[in-house]
Structure 1
Amino acid sequence: MDTFSLLELNAHIRQVVALNFEQLIWVSCEISQARQSRGHHYLELVEKAEHSDDIRAQSSAVIWARTFSRIRKKCGDLIDDILQDGVEVRVQVRVDFHERYGLKLVIEDIDPSFTMGNLETRRREILETLQKKGLVEKNGLLPLPVVPQRIAVLSSEHAAGYHDFMQHLRENPYEYHFDTHLFPVALQGSSVEKEVVTALQSVAKAAVHYDCVAIIRGGGSRLDLSGFDNLAIGEAIAHCPIPVFTGIGHEIDQSVADIVANYALKTPTAVADVIIEMTATFEGEIDALELHIKEIIDNIVVQAQSDLRNAQTLLTYLPAQRVTANHAFLEGLVPQFRRIASFKIKQYQQQLEHASIVMKAVEPRNVLARGFSITRKNGKIVSNSSALKSGDTLETEFQKGNIKSTID
């Protein structure tokens, strides 16, 4: 049995590869790692199992500097966004095998429409999943804070958008003070999902200390922002117990994070503007309420002063009016009292005259003059014969003269 040297074997493999892959071929895959050196771009390409991160196939690839320059002329700056970790690509390759360095895919062209199409397809699928779970509008239904002064910020401390956001808050024309807490996160690449989800979970646990969340990134191409077209990030935003603001920075398209958030804005400074204006609106409402209360108090004071003046006027004139009225009333009673007094006097005079006649009629002298007599026993008038007994001495008085007698 023949024995091959390693060089002979690899040379044979190289010949087989060259014979079977004479033409350039298109390959779809995902970039797991990307780096550049001296204008050359070195990539690790993988294919993962469906619905998991298990790697089913892997190869190294290279874009030589001259080829990269040609691709950049065709794709523009988009090529920089495509050559990022985690991006799915369709590349035209030449299969190359070297006896020492092994198999390598030499990339000759890239199809940007494939990457963009896959991103849009994935975006739609994520939104459909969130819609079925009832999560698209969940965070958006949370009431906005009246005064958003305590802000949890998800961004990179080195991002220009973060510094623009903070400067805008600090230099607001109303001189409001805002308390911000930075949760550092990756804004692009394969770490975006894990770091953003972890940060949102941390905010949710301490939600009582914050009024809202601001996810701040700044400008970038549609592909550059693809990390926010993510199911886990969408779910984390939806489940966040306080409103989430996004200023991810794309002028045309909305990411999944934008759609699920409570308030989506184009730029970090736009987020800052909204927060400032919400606070200014609240202050304006307080000022208007203060003015309204002052007007009510002023009206009450004016009415009270008017009532007091009216009372003073009444107190000045009412007693005199009442005295005059009572005086007139009393003067009206005088004639009536005089008539009543005159009538009573005449009535009493008649009664006295009648009594005088009666008194004269019963006077003892007048009674004796009419032939009556008065009998006394021991000086007391006898009015009943049963009070007398035999032997009593009586004295009888007549109009003229007295007699004494004894009862037998």
Structure 2
Amino acid sequence: MTFPALFEETCVFTVSELNARIRSLLESEFPYVWVCGEVSNFRVPASGHFYFTLKDAGSQLRAVMFRAQQRRLRFEPEAGLQVLCQGRITVYEPRGDYQLIVDVMEPQGLGALQLAFEQLKKRLEAEGLFDPARKKPLPVVPQRIAVVTSPTGAAIRDILKVLQRSPYALIVTLIPVRVQGEGAAEEIARAIQQAGALRDTFRWDVILVGRGGGSLEDLWAFNEEAVARAVADCPIPTISCVGHEIDVTISDMAADLRAPTPTAAAQWIVGRLEGVERDLSSLSERLRSTLERRVQRHREQLHHLAKRLRDPRRRITDRRLYVDDRLERLVLAFSGRLARLRMTHGHLAERLKLHRPSQRIESLRDRVNAVFRSLCVDQGKLLERSRFQLEHRAAQLESLNPLAILGRGYSITHRMPDGKIVRCAREVKEGQRVQVRLWQGALRCVVEACIDSIDEPGQGRTERGEEEENNGEV
């Protein structure tokens, strides 16, 4: 069989060789490309890699973003999100599928930071982290203050400037941290956690967490989940004061109080103390006025009562006469009552003598003894009569006992092997085995002959029977 020249010059590839050639061509032709599309079929297996499909109205492309490249992501990819991806086109040779290996992913529309902010806000809000019911009450008199911020930033200077102008004795502790850059969020969260752990040692009343103004990137450390959870879980009431008044961060929502600026946070503390001082002054003035009015009212009541008060000696004399009269009447009442009780007691004693329990007990004892003697006599007669009846019944039973008949020399013959009692010689055959029941024991015999008439005693004995009798078998 011959092939055309075209086929003779054509090179034949294996599947693996062809996939390898296609992969080499694609990787050399498209080393890096930007692709925009909608994320679909998004999944994250146990390896932690992102597997998804980029699609538009007319086509779709498989894509994967390995775990190492995910560190630069500020947001969480999800199905339906429009994204812009940079990566390399390659072929997965075992299946012959070509796909995009994504190195960089950015959302389209909102920026990556803004999208990450909205996603984290939505997730923490769904968990109830921003619920006002879980926020801790703020101190009435904040005197010990911890400030978590940069030691060189404008925030600490603004806070100290306001607090130093106040006339109140305040203790301020600076916990220095970085407020922007790589690792700043972890450092802030760790500082808040340490402050909560040292609560009993330093007895802080409130913690200020914040920094001065800046761009969204500069303030991003306060939008990290670690900082939000540390603020929410801190056992000490927290005030978040980040950026300017228009800047709102995740830590502002998780804190127990949001201050628009660090200066406003310090002014809140001073205003809180001023409010307490005003309240104390107002309460002191109200207390003084109330006490003065009450003293004046009691003074007037005392003056009025003093006019109505009579000579106490006269009242004492009247009470003494009243007591003497009541005492005399009481003695007479007790005497009459005692006499009546004495008469009643004598009457009851006489009646009791007539109904002494000992006499009744003696009478009942005699009756019991008489009944007992009568019962013994009747019981003896009953036993004697029962014994006589028992002996009579036993004699009757003995006379009807079939074994007693055997004792007079009779026997009972059973046909073997069915055990039927033999009443007639015709019921057995010669050579048949029988068993003879005696008064004591039994004999197993073989019939030699069947005789209708009664022979002399001893003639019907068989050799088998004699042998068994001689051997003493029973």
TM-score, length of structure 2 as denominator length: 0.44
Letter in 2 for 1:269: T
Summarize the Cα distance change of 1:133–1:189 in structure 2 as closer, same or farther, 3 Å threshold: same
C-alpha distance in 2, partners of 1:112/1:176?
Answer: 51
The aligned counterpart of 1:134 is 128
- Residue 266 of structure 2 corresponds to residue 272 of structure 1: yes
Q: 1:247 is paired with a residue of what secondary structure?
A: strand
User: Displacement, 1:313?
Assistant: 4.3
Of 155, 161, 174, which aligns to 1:182? 174
Deviation at 1:166, TM superposition (A): 1.0
**What's the CA shift for 1:244?**
1.1
Inter-CA distance 26–177: structure 2 relative to 1 (3 Å threshold): farther
8 Å CA contact 2:84, 2:108 repeated in 1: yes
Q: Distance in 1 between matches of 2:84 and 2:148?
A: 32
Q: Kindly indicate whether residue 276 of structure 2 is the aligned counterpart of residue 263 of structure 1.
A: no
Q: What's 2:327 paired with? A: none
Shift of 1:121: 1.4
User: What displacement does 1:252 show?
Assistant: 2.1
Question: Cα offset for 1:124?
Answer: 1.8
The residue identity in structure 1 corresponding to 2:183 is S
In structure 2, what residue type is equivalent to 1:222?
L
Matched, 1:158 2:152: yes
Post-superposition shift, 1:142?
0.9
Distance change in 2, residues 1:127/1:213 (3 Å): same
In 2: Cα distance, 1:114 partner to 1:217 partner = 30
Q: Secondary structure at the match of 1:162?
A: helix
Cα displacement (A) at 1:180: 1.3
For residue 8 of structure 1, what is the aligned residue in structure 2?
none
Does the Cα contact within 8 Å between 2:239 and 2:257 map onto a contact in 1? Answer: yes
**Relative to total residues, which structure has the larger strand share, 1 or 2?**
1
CA distance in 2, matches of 1:57, 1:287: 60
Q: Are 2:190 and 1:198 aligned?
A: yes
- Change in 2 beyond 3 A, CA 1:144/1:57: closer
Cα distance per residue 1:270-290 (max 9 Å; x no partner): 001111111111122222221
* 1:138 to partner: Cα distance: 6.4
Question: Which of 21, 36, 55 is 2:68 aligned to?
Answer: 55
Q: Which amino acid aligns with 1:192?
A: A
Q: Cα–Cα, structure 1 residues 222 and 57, in superposed 2: closer, same or farther, change >3 Å? A: closer
Runs (5+) with no aligned partner, structure 2: 1-24, 37-47, 51-64, 76-82, 87-104, 315-474
* Conservation of the 8 A alpha-carbon contact between 1:139 and 1:239: no
Paired residue for 1:342? none
Q: For 1:29-68, list aligned pairs within 5 A.
A: 55-56=68-69
Contact kept, 8 Å, 1:186 with 1:192, in 2: the verdict is yes
SS of 1:258 mapped into structure 2:
helix
TM-superposed CA distance for 1:128, in Å, is 2.5
The AA in structure 1 aligned to 2:174 is L
Residue type of the alignment partner of 1:55: A
Aligned 8 A contact 2:106 2:112 in 1 = no
Once the two structures are TM-superposed, the CA of residue 309 in structure 1 deviates from its matched residue by 3.0
Within 2, Cα distance between the matches of 1:138 and 1:191? 29
Shift of 1:26: 5.3
1:212 to 1:220, Cα distance in 2 relative to 1, 3 A: same
Partner Cα separation in structure 1 for residue 66 and residue 272 of structure 2: 43
The answer on 1:287 being equivalent to 2:281 is yes
Calculate the TM-score normalised by the size of structure 1. Answer: 0.50
Where do residues 228-247 of structure 1 align in structure 2 (5 Å cutoff)?
Answer: 228-247=222-241
The separation in 1 between residues aligned to 2:186 and 2:70, in whole angstroms, is 24
> Which residue of 2 is the match for residue 143 of structure 1?
137
Taking a change above 3 Å as real, the CA distance of residues 228 and 302 of structure 1, as seen in their structure-2 partners, is same
Is the Cα contact below 8 Å between 1:130 and 1:235 reproduced in 2? no
The 3 A distance-change label for structure 1 pair 221 and 178 is: same
SS in 2 for 1:181: strand
- Calculate percent identity across the aligned residue pairs: 29
Equivalent residue, structure 2, for 1:405:
none
1:192 to partner: Cα distance: 1.5
Count of residues in correspondence between the two structures: 238
**Equivalent residue number for residue 96 of structure 2:** none
CA distance in structure 2 between the aligned counterparts of 1:54 and 1:294, rounded to whole angstroms: 72
CA contact (8 A) 1:222 1:250 kept: no
Matching residue within 161, 166, 183 for 1:167: 161
* 1:290-369 map, 5 Å: 290-314=284-308
Whether 1:218 aligns to 2:231 is: no
Judged with a 3 Å threshold, the aligned counterparts in structure 2 of structure 1 residues 149 and 57 are, in CA distance, closer, same or farther, namely closer
In structure 2, what is the Cα distance between the partners aligned to 1:135 and 1:147? 26
- CA apart distance, 1:307: 2.4
Cα RMSD (Å): 4.0
Letter in 1 for 2:173: H
Q: Aligned partners of 1:141, 1:160: CA distance in 2, in Å?
A: 28
Q: State the distance in 1 between where 2:66 and 2:265 align.
A: 35
The 1-side partners of 2:35 and 2:159 are apart by 42
- Pairing of 1:103-122 with structure 2 (within 5 A): 117-122=111-116
Aligned partners of 1:158 and 1:203: how far apart in 2?
Answer: 20
Q: CA deviation at 1:122?
A: 0.9
Q: Distance in 1 between matches of 2:186 and 2:128?
A: 23
